[in-house]
Structure 1
Amino acid sequence: MKRLWRALAYAAMATSWAGSAYAVSDAAILAPRPPKLLSEFGFFDDLKDRKPAAGVVNFAPSTALFSDGALKDRFVYVPEGKAASYVEGEAFEFPTGSALIKSFSFPADYADASSVVSIIETRVLLKHDSGWQAWAYVWNDEQTDATLNIAGAKVPVVSVAEDGAPISFTYAVPNKNQCKACHDVGGVIVPLGPKARNLHFELTYPDGTVANQLEYWQTIGILEGVPALDRIEAVPDWRDETADIDARARGWLDVNCAHCHRRTGPASNSGLFLNWSEPKGPSFGINKRPVAAGRGSGGRLFDIKPGDPDGSILVYRLESTEPGVMMPEIGRVLEDVEATDMLRRWISSLK
């Protein structure tokens, strides 16, 4: 009965969407040069509160990229009457006119849910006939709109951690070339997050609907070709202490490192491949000597030394905040302390 009611609810949503005219500007998405202001896309009915317009769907990955503790809101838009195609193991193939939207924000106090949240930037990936285009928009102080920024920006962030410790650092909005650095796979810009394994879990939507994201996307008509859910691998939330630590570690490394450290990525010459499907052996860093780490090795001999996190280059570079040593090279200035603690425990468990 529960499944029947869910099916009926999804069908009602799909029918409602099919009869609506989206407020999103397809012309702005496909323009040779993106609009100056984020509001010109029409992605949000209420820009400040990030209330999505009709046809704009929020989504979330099970394990997210660490960006100095930024809170992130993610949305997908697929033009009316079109759908993305399911791709096994990689990002879905989206039709021309699609958009992926991600906003980065910081609360005044992480322990206080009612504290003021300041949006720093919103990044968009826009699908043209020629491929994906990546752009960043920086929000104004009034939090009323965001302006296209190609050169990058430095924004001071002041907050309070959950344990009461003060947080103060300079957040870096990436420039155009830095966007390409992470999203370049085989010389082509691609999305990183919307893969089946990252979306294969239930999400609560703004209207209260609770649904598996893959099932939801398929039902409302923005994704086609989805196989039976029990045939799809799922990456666990790396923070879930009840999940297998090997899967948690591999999931975190896949999301945070494999955009470069994969066979078709910018760091392919390192011989270190940290993508989800890579066998757990030397190519995954296990007892692997670095090709050319320089001072980035910290005097350690192996990328991952089983049973010895302190002797592993991976841990050394993830814990570092020193330019030229730290990994990832861009996208953070702070250490992801909780994640590196989990990775230490994972390496300690390896034999």
Structure 2
Amino acid sequence: MGCAIRSERRLNSPSAWTTPLRTCSTWTAPTATPAHPWSPASTSVRIPGWVRWNWPGALPKPAVEPGRAAAGSLALCCALSLLGACAPAPEVRFHASAEYPQRLSDWGLIERRGDRLVLGEGVLPYDVNTPLFADYAQKLRTVWLPPGRSAQFDADQAYDLPVGTLITKTFFYPTDGGIAQAAESWDGRLETLDLARARLVETRLLVRQAERWEALAYVWRGDEAWLSITGAIIPLPLAPPDGGAARAINYMVPSRNQCASCHVTGQEGDALMPIGLTTRQLNRGYGGGPGNQIADFQALGWLDGVSPATEWARNADWVDPDESLVHLARSYLDANCGHCHNPLGRADTTGLWLNIHHGPLRRLGLCKPPIAAGQGTGGRRYSIVPGQPDASILEFRMADDDPATRMPEIGRSIVHRRGLAVVSDWIAALPNECAEPDYAGALVQGG
């Protein structure tokens, strides 16, 4: 099939530039720059004239000359047409704080069309190495940056993304006979998400306003997701990942205030921050494929000052059977606990730092008595007792689903069996002593 070419006026300005926009198989580099810079005050902003493929391996690379189609475009167009992706994509629109829409589709970031989700123009799906556990829900993650804007590469911290950035995370469950199915992983690729066999639950949105990041949650009902300021409890039956009878769970959609429980990391004081867009988490191919997402961001002009790839650290790939136990456990604690349990986070007063950058034994919890945990100790003396997971507070709180004692406190209502097993096995493998110094360094190796 052919692919239409149409001209679009940018930025809704009479003096703005116009350039051809191919709606399907080929990407053409813009040949001019807008007469007026993008402004976050605008509530109807169009993206530049390139098409976002649904996998980074097909992203335009700097070697492609302006006006020249990317290789393999015809085959790609045919593949996209099978997904309905050659239909006009939604137009991304930025909204000021006082104008947040009730419907998710009014952002133009993501829409449901039949049994598929369609991303807006320029919206990039991405994946992470070690995901945050959320009652076995699978997640489609996307990011959109305003035209001409970029972030500074950071080897350790979350990227400081520009004003106007929009990040989404859509939570869903595969279904079988109407029953939600728990699974450890999904390949993260949009083209494999068939909504005839999945239940959409919510889409969370992070909006980078001029003053701060703001968080929103949209709950899916039918073909649309609706804004929920106060959060929601969604009862649903969930079949366990290892088979067996389904159990009823109460899936929790966070309120705007509850979003701060994870997203106030201390990196920017008491301000919300994204927690997944880091070098450690993005250092992988999208959907398990070839290439590298950091290189993709760089090719799009979204990252400045990127260091050589040989210097990029990474968290463990949660589904890679060849990852070491140490790397899996430390990455899991970093992704699920480290945003609070770090020297600047909301749990800094506990003295228990579980982010991957800190290795002193006492800070990791080894032979460390709790400062203030109350009944959360389960009668145990130390956060981690080397060689004895059953005697460790950390293992006890991960294994509990009582809201008064479980950890993490928010984001889950059931126990993550594999996460618990990995951390328990790691504790069991620790030498039964707390001697420094080389031992501390070994705890953070592996990536």
Q: TM-score scaled by structure 2?
A: 0.71
Structure 2 partner of 1:10 = 61
Question: CA 1:339 to 1:27, structure 2 compared with 1: closer, same or farther past 3 Å?
Answer: closer
Structure 1 partner of 2:166 = 99
Shift of 1:9: 5.2
Is residue 105–residue 111 contact of structure 2 (8 Å, CA) maintained in 1?
A: no
Are residues 1:81 and 2:81 paired? Answer: no
Shift of 1:210: 3.4
Shift of 1:46: 4.5
Moved over 6 A (4+): 111-115
Are residues 1:295 and 2:389 paired? Answer: no
Structure 1 partner of 2:99 = 33
Helix, strand or coil for the counterpart of 2:291?
A: strand
Is residue 92–residue 121 contact of structure 2 (8 Å, CA) maintained in 1?
A: no
Shift of 1:8: 9.5
1:240-271 Cα shifts (integer Å, max 9, x gaps): 33112111111000110011111111111111
Are residues 1:128 and 2:209 paired? Answer: yes
Give the AA of the match of 2:105: S
1:319-339 Cα shifts (integer Å, max 9, x gaps): 000111100111100000011
Is residue 92–residue 120 contact of structure 2 (8 Å, CA) maintained in 1?
A: no
CA RMSD of aligned residues (A): 2.4
1:216-253 Cα shifts (integer Å, max 9, x gaps): 11112222221111111111123433112111111000
Q: Please show how residues 261-280 of structure 1 align to structure 2 within 5 Å.
A: 261-280=341-360
Question: CA 1:243 to 1:284, structure 2 compared with 1: closer, same or farther past 3 Å?
Answer: same
Q: Which shifted more, 235-244 or 291-300?
A: 235-244
Q: Which runs of 5+ in 2 are unaligned?
A: 1-56, 68-87, 184-192, 432-447
Q: Which shifted more, 124-133 or 209-218?
A: 209-218
Give the AA of the match of 2:381: L
Give the AA of the match of 1:190: M
- 2: distance between equivalents of 1:14 and 1:243? 39
Structure 2 partner of 1:281 = 361
Structure 2 partner of 1:3 = none
Shift of 1:41: 0.3
Is residue 62–residue 199 contact of structure 1 (8 Å, CA) maintained in 2?
A: yes
Q: Which runs of 5+ in 1 are unaligned?
A: 1-5
- 1: distance between equivalents of 2:65 and 2:210? 27
**From 78, 101, 109, the counterpart of 1:43:** 109
Q: Which shifted more, 37-46 or 317-326?
A: 37-46
Q: Which shifted more, 233-242 or 282-291?
A: 233-242
Q: Which shifted more, 247-256 or 100-109?
A: 100-109
- 1: distance between equivalents of 2:337 and 2:58? 38
How many residue pairs match? The answer is 336
Helix, strand or coil for the counterpart of 1:168?
A: strand
Q: Please show how residues 252-263 of structure 1 align to structure 2 within 5 Å.
A: 252-263=332-343
Structure 2 partner of 1:163 = 242
Structure 1 partner of 2:437 = none
1:138-188 Cα shifts (integer Å, max 9, x gaps): 111x2x111110111011122333433213211010011101121112311
- 1: distance between equivalents of 2:358 and 2:160? 22
Is residue 105–residue 118 contact of structure 1 (8 Å, CA) maintained in 2?
A: yes
Structure 2 partner of 1:149 = 228
Structure 2 partner of 1:335 = 415
Q: Which shifted more, 274-283 or 112-121?
A: 112-121
Helix, strand or coil for the counterpart of 2:428?
A: helix
Q: TM-score scaled by structure 1?
A: 0.89
Give the AA of the match of 2:198: V
Are residues 1:191 and 2:274 paired? Answer: yes
